[in-house]
A and B are shown apart, each in its own frame.
Chain A
Amino acid sequence: GDSVTQMEGPVTLSEEAFLTINCTYTATGYPSLFWYVQYPGEGLQLLLKATKADDKGSNKGFEATYRKETTSFHLEKGSVQVSDSAVYFCALSGDAGNMLTFGGGTRLMVKP
């Protein structure tokens, strides 16, 4: 079946540092890929998405490129802020269509 693997956290960075959170996936066919963010005490918010190979999703300074050859969808941001502290989830929607497969989540902590 489909699966998503994320790097384990927590990831601790200083403000203005470069962020990479790795995400790799296993799926048949051509899944859509997503990154969600969960701020403390809240639900998940869709951060960005990509629906086909080589698509780049971007939002709020975050970017991720759908790499089919490496089955990856790594999340990057050039300069993190304290307000980016949250848990980030990588997810895919594959042949099951309406279902999402989530990674385990990566907690990001940004220190001033």
Chain B
Amino acid sequence: DVKVTQSSRYLVKRTGEKVFLECVQDMDHENMFWYRQDPGLGLRLIYFSYDVKMKEKGDIPEGYSVSREKKERFSLILESASTNQTSMYLCASSPGRGYQPQHFGDGTRLSIL
């Protein structure tokens, strides 16, 4: 089975801090994704990457950046955390060929105080 591991289930940070969310997948997938999930807003794509060192903006990239130095690892960075970034963050991966399902991690519930 595909395993997507997010480094923290729960995280509490303060406004203005630089926050790193880590995600690792063990299936040699080319594609990796970061979403945030908020009540009433569903899943929204922040960034995705289809190869090492490649990244593409999703629907809501403002206030975020990403890093993909190795194929198995995709990091989401909140440059200066703000309270409106309190959310559930979900990482996913999928094979490079199209029309494939994405496999999700368990999520990180991030609170910015």
Q: Interface of A with B (CB < 8 Å)? A: 31-32, 34, 36, 41-46, 49, 51, 89, 93, 97-100, 102-105
From A89, which residue of chain B is reached at the shortest CB distance?
A: B43
Give the docked Cα–Cα distance between A44 and B90 (Å).
8
Residues of chain A lying within 8 A (CB to CB) of residue B94: 98
How extensive is the interface on chain B, given as a class? 20 to 34
With A89-B43, A102-B42 as contacts: A43 and B107 at CB distance below 8 Å: yes
Residues of chain B lying within 8 A (CB to CB) of residue A89: 43
Asked if A93 and B103 sit within 8 Å, CB to CB, the answer is: no
Give the docked Cα–Cα distance between A36 and B102 (Å).
10
Residues of chain A lying within 8 A (CB to CB) of residue B50: 98
Asked if B103 and A46 sit within 8 Å, CB to CB, the answer is: yes
Residues of chain A lying within 8 A (CB to CB) of residue B100: 32, 93, 98
From B10, which residue of chain A is reached at the shortest CB distance?
A: A41
Give the docked Cα–Cα distance between A51 and B98 (Å).
11
Asked if B90 and A97 sit within 8 Å, CB to CB, the answer is: no
Residues of chain A lying within 8 A (CB to CB) of residue B90: 43-44
Asked if A104 and B42 sit within 8 Å, CB to CB, the answer is: yes
From A105, which residue of chain B is reached at the shortest CB distance?
A: B42
Q: Mark B77-110, 1 if CB is under 8 A from A, else 0.
A: 0000000000000101010101111111111010
Q: Shortest Cβ distance from B59 into chain A, in angstroms?
A: 11
Cross-chain contact of A102 among B43, B48, B98 (Cβ < 8 A): B43
Give the docked Cα–Cα distance between A51 and B50 (Å).
22
Asked if A93 and B43 sit within 8 Å, CB to CB, the answer is: no
Residues of chain B lying within 8 A (CB to CB) of residue A36: 104
Give the docked Cα–Cα distance between A43 and B90 (Å).
7
Asked if B105 and A98 sit within 8 Å, CB to CB, the answer is: no
